[in-house]
Amino acid sequence: MNTIIHKPSPSPNHPSSLFPQISRCKTTRHLKQIHAHFIKTGQIHHPLAAAELLKFLTLSTQREIKYAPCAKLARIEEGKQLHGFVVKLGLVSDEFVRSNLVRVYVMCGAMKDAHVLFYQTRLEGNVVLWNVMIDGYVRMGDLRASRELFDSMPNKSVVSWNVMISGCAQNGHFKEAIEMFHDMQLGDVPPNYVTLVSVLPAVSRLGAIELGKWVHLFAEKNEIEIDDVLGSALIDMYSKCGSIDKAVQVFEGIRNKKNPITWSAIIGGLAMHGRARDALDHFWRMQQAGVTPSDVVYIGVLSACSHAGLVEEGRSIYYHMVNIVGLLPRIEHYGCMVDLLGRAGCLEEAEQLILNMPVKPDDVILKALLGACKMHGNIEMGERIAKFLMGWYPHDSGSYVALSNMFASEGNWEGVVKVRLKMKELDIRKDPGCSWIELDGVIHEFLVEDDSHPRAEGIHSMLEEMSDRLRSVGYRPNTTQVLLNMDEKEKQSALHYHSEKIAIAFGLISTRPQTPLQIVKNLRVCEDCHSSIKLVSKIYNRKIIVRDRKRFHHFENGSCSCMDYW
Ligand code: ZN
Ligand code: ZN
């Protein structure tokens, strides 16, 4: 006999009959009405009802927090009320209810409450919830807590690894992100698409090209699709690691080039390498392909013009963006224009642009103009800008250093000493310079005047040899960059130990002759380092690629790709 089994439809009194309504809830007021209905009809005693309410609260919190951060506090309160309610009804033993409650707390950043509930109620077996907790700490920027939790996790999933890797990278802990990626490969959880996208920004920042190539190969071998997102991350990595040609190759290989992110990655890369004409070509190509340039793309094109001194092109693109396309310039666009005009010597025009900005100029813009004043010897405007800067950003070392450098360049040691004393008085310290070089997949980090490396002795003798050979070809150190009014000899020795020089010395003693050296520096390379690296590339017959905070310098046979314009 055949029996037809009907799935019973939920009775109107069963809470599941209201679930579709919960998911369609647009406002918390509506939700409260349903909540009240649950109470009135007694449905609230059903664990499913409480769990669904919490789930909605999590999702709506996620949505709301994005647009008005003060919603957080209100949500924490609602979360706590629901928590008390759930406990009173004895529903807290339901795993689904509890895990949604933990999510609400995590989403609101109430990590203490989430943590207590997570441990007290033995949710440790729930891998998904571990990941939610780890992610919560990462979002709060508390990497130590997230790491502790991660380390004590019995079964790590690929999501756990991804959360940690991207968390480290997003919070500026690039070395840790890469170390985690290495650790992951020692275990039995293979990286996936998200892992690769998460680790690549860290690879880019440290210029770890060997690892970057490995990531690319891994994607190809494992048939992980290099779509616009992963492709853009690879383009960014190759260009920031000095291989702009490889970046172009990846770009051409991406089938769907409709995403402006892909275009801004390649245009930004070309700009950084000083290939302004190519950047402009891509900008036109992008528009021919029917992709509307985003404001980030304009930042790339304008910075390309600024690096290459293409004043006319820059002006007309900026005009087009503001007056034809109607994009509201962001502070970064103003920054590019001030940089472009300032370097080209149009100091008054740059200053006017700043004065007409609808928002307060940031320190980057003012420093760009200050740098231009120094470059073109306009001390009067320089001092004016510096005063502005110090008034607005009294604890930022950059403006003091820039002003001091400007005084030093004209031999005004009295001015230098004054600035130094002011810095001392306010206890302002200069950002320490730091350079990285990757050898055989290991990243070596050097600080200014660093002698902590295991091969410090060898590095030191190499630095001595370098300065002897530089002197023998007639090189005289440019001591105007040194802040203190010390005697010539002291100044010269201070210059020897800029971190990029130490990294180069280490590269020279650790690699075969003719091996190209690739260095990443956190600050801008100084004029003295720039001219000595040019000579080092010739004397030692090495290609040396240096990425500083702003752009790439390809040193070869005594000259640099930036044509000394940087
Ligand atoms: Zn230097
Ligand atoms: Zn250069």
- Which ligand has the nearest atom to the CA of 550? 2
Band of pLDDT at residue 58, cut at 50, 70 and 90: low
Question: Does residue 244 contact residue 269 with C-beta atoms inside 8 Å?
Answer: yes
Identify the pLDDT of residue 492: 55
Interval 465-479: pLDDT, tens:
999 999 999 888 776
Determine the distance separating the centroid of ligand 2 and the alpha carbon of 501, expressed in angstroms: 14
Interval 195-227: pLDDT, tens:
999 999 999 988 888 899 999 999 999 999 999
Identify the pLDDT of residue 414: 87
Band of pLDDT at residue 252, cut at 50, 70 and 90: very high
Q: Which two tokens stand for residue 532?
A: 């000595």
Of 101-105, 223-227, 284-288, 289-293, the poorest mean pLDDT is in 101-105
Identify the pLDDT of residue 198: 95
Of 83, 74, 76, the closest CA to residue 53 belongs to: 83
Determine the distance separating the centroid of ligand 2 and the alpha carbon of 337, expressed in angstroms: 21
Laid out side by side, the sheet with 442-447 consists of: 442-447, 434-439, 517-521, 544-547, 552-556, 559-560
Determine the distance separating the centroid of ligand 2 and the alpha carbon of 304, expressed in angstroms: 15
Residue 517 has pLDDT above 60, yes or no: yes
Determine the distance separating the centroid of ligand 2 and the alpha carbon of 547, expressed in angstroms: 9
Residue 521 has pLDDT above 60, yes or no: yes
Of 20-34, 390-404, 476-490, the poorest mean pLDDT is in 476-490
- Which ligand has the nearest atom to the CA of 479? 1
Determine the distance separating the centroid of ligand 1 and the alpha carbon of 342, expressed in angstroms: 22
Determine the distance separating the centroid of ligand 2 and the alpha carbon of 185, expressed in angstroms: 37
Identify the pLDDT of residue 23: 63
Residue 263 has pLDDT above 90, yes or no: yes
* DSSP annotation of 322: I
- Which ligand has the nearest atom to the CA of 449? 1
Write the CB contacts of 315 (distance below 8 Å, at least 6 apart in sequence): none
Could you tell me where the beta strands, DSSP code E, fall in 249-370? none
- Which ligand has the nearest atom to the CA of 552? 2
Determine the distance separating the centroid of ligand 2 and the alpha carbon of 434, expressed in angstroms: 18
Q: Which two tokens stand for residue 490?
A: 């002291």
Give the Cα separation of 540 and 508 in Å (integer). 8
Residue 7 has pLDDT above 50, yes or no: no
The pocket of ion ligand 1, defined by CB under 5 A, consists of 498, 526, 529
Tell me the CB-side half-sphere exposure of residue 73, using CA atoms within 13 A.
3
Looking at this protein, which amino acid is placed at residue 135?
D
Band of pLDDT at residue 96, cut at 50, 70 and 90: confident
Residues 478-498 have a mean pLDDT of: 57
Of 498, 499, 521, 510, the closest CA to residue 455 belongs to: 510
Determine the distance separating the centroid of ligand 1 and the alpha carbon of 143, expressed in angstroms: 33
Interval 343-371: pLDDT, tens:
899 999 999 999 999 888 888 899 889 88
Identify the pLDDT of residue 438: 86
Determine the distance separating the centroid of ligand 1 and the alpha carbon of 496, expressed in angstroms: 8
Write the CB contacts of 331 (distance below 8 Å, at least 6 apart in sequence): 359, 361, 362, 364, 365
Question: Does residue 100 contact residue 108 with C-beta atoms inside 8 Å?
Answer: no
Give the Cα separation of 164 and 26 in Å (integer). 33
- Which ligand has the nearest atom to the CA of 561? 2
* DSSP annotation of 484: S
Determine the distance separating the centroid of ligand 2 and the alpha carbon of 366, expressed in angstroms: 22
Of 102-106, 494-498, 515-519, the poorest mean pLDDT is in 494-498
Identify the pLDDT of residue 24: 66
Interval 295-328: pLDDT, tens:
999 999 999 998 888 999 999 999 999 999 999 9
Q: What is the largest CA-CA distance in the chain?
A: 107
Residues 548-566 have a mean pLDDT of: 86
Which value, to the nearest 10 degrees, does the dihedral of the CA atoms of residues 500, 504, 510, 514 take? 150
Write the CB contacts of 422 (distance below 8 Å, at least 6 apart in sequence): 400
* Structural domains of the chain ordered from first start: 344-430 (1.25.40), 434-560 (no CATH)
Residue 31 has pLDDT above 70, yes or no: no
The percent of residues above 90 in pLDDT, for the chain, comes to: 46
Give the Cα separation of 318 and 314 in Å (integer). 6
Residue 512 has pLDDT above 50, yes or no: yes
Determine the distance separating the centroid of ligand 1 and the alpha carbon of 533, expressed in angstroms: 10
- Which ligand has the nearest atom to the CA of 500? 1
Determine the distance separating the centroid of ligand 2 and the alpha carbon of 536, expressed in angstroms: 13
Determine the distance separating the centroid of ligand 2 and the alpha carbon of 354, expressed in angstroms: 27
The pocket of ion ligand 2, defined by CB under 5 A, consists of 553, 560, 562
Interval 451-461: pLDDT, tens:
788 899 999 99
Band of pLDDT at residue 502, cut at 50, 70 and 90: very high
Interval 141-184: pLDDT, tens:
899 999 999 999 888 999 999 999 999 999 889 989 999 999 99
Residue 49 has pLDDT above 80, yes or no: no
Give the Cα separation of 107 and 100 in Å (integer). 10
Identify the pLDDT of residue 407: 84
Q: Which two tokens stand for residue 18?
A: 């209201």
When the pLDDT of each residue in the chain is averaged and rounded to a whole number, the result is: 84
- Which ligand has the nearest atom to the CA of 482? 1
Residues 121-145 have a mean pLDDT of: 84
State pTM to two decimals.
0.73
Give the Cα separation of 110 and 83 in Å (integer). 13
Determine the distance separating the centroid of ligand 2 and the alpha carbon of 558, expressed in angstroms: 11
